[in-house]
Structure 1
Amino acid sequence: MPNRVSPNIAPSIFYKTDLCPIRSVISGVSGKWPLLILAHLSFGQHRFSELLNGIPDISQRMLTQTLRSLERDGLVERHVTASIPPRVDYQLTERGQTLLPIVQSLMQWGLENRKDIEADQEATDLAKAREAAQKDAA
C-alpha cells in the first residue's frame, strides 16, 4: 500500500490555506500544464519553441507563466545563450528530477485507466442526458 498522510492529521487541515504546509507546493505542480512541461523536460533540455510545439494546445503566454512558476519553485532552470536571436533553453533542476517518479507514475496510471474513465464519463453523460430528456418530456 502506498504511503499515506499520517492519520494524526485531520483532513480539514488541507482545506485551510494558512494551516496546510504543503498546499502551495501541490498547487505549483498540479494541473495540466506543469505536469506536461515536466514530462517533456524529463527527456532532457528543450528550447522554448520545442516546448511550445510539443504541447500544441498551450498558449505562448501560458507556457511562459508556467515555466516562470516552475523556475521560481526551483524545479526548472532557464539558460540564455547570447546569440541573435537569443537562445533560451529549459531543463529540470535536481529537485525537479526528484519529482519525475511521481509524474511518471501519474502518467502510467492515466494510460492504464484512460479507457475505463472515458467509458464512465460517457455513461454518466448519457444518464444525465436521459434524465434531462425525461424532465423535458414531463
Structure 2
Amino acid sequence: MESVRTESPGLSIGQVAERTGLSVHALRFYEREGIIEQAVRRDGGGRRVYTEYDVAWLRVCIILRASGMPLPTIRRYTEMVRQGTGNETERLALMLEHRDRVNAQIAQLTQSLDLINHKVGVYEDILAANPADPSDSCVIPAG
C-alpha cells in the first residue's frame, strides 16, 4: 500500500463513497482529519478528484478502523507513511501493538462465543426433552 500514487482520470466523491461504503460526510471528515495519505486533488470547479490509490488507502483505513484502531492512531500511521521511508521501525511497533489488541479482542470474543454456544446447547436440550410444554423453556438449569 505504501507506493507512489499514480494519476488516473479520477473518481468523484460519490464514486469513492460507493466503492468504499463510506458516506460522503465520512470521506470529507477523513480528509479534514488527515487520514487520506495524500492530498485529494481538486478539479477546475473545486470538486474533489480521487484516484484508485486513494480508494486502496481508504480500504486499508476502513479495515484498521473495523479492527478497533482509533482514528488518532490511524492518523499517526498515515503521517508516518506520508513521511516516506526511514520510520518502518515505528510503523512496525504501531502494528504490533494493534495486533496485540486485536488478538486480545479475539480471545475475549471466543470466550463469549463459548458461553453462548453452551447456552444454546442448554436451551436445545430443554426443548428436546419437553417440546410440548413451552412453560418449561423458562426453567434454565444453572451453568
TM-score, normalised via structure 2 length: 0.35
Relative to its length, the structure with more strand (as a share) is 1
Q: What is the TM-score with the length of structure 1 in the denominator? A: 0.36
Instruction: Point out the structure with max Rg over C-alpha.
Output: 2
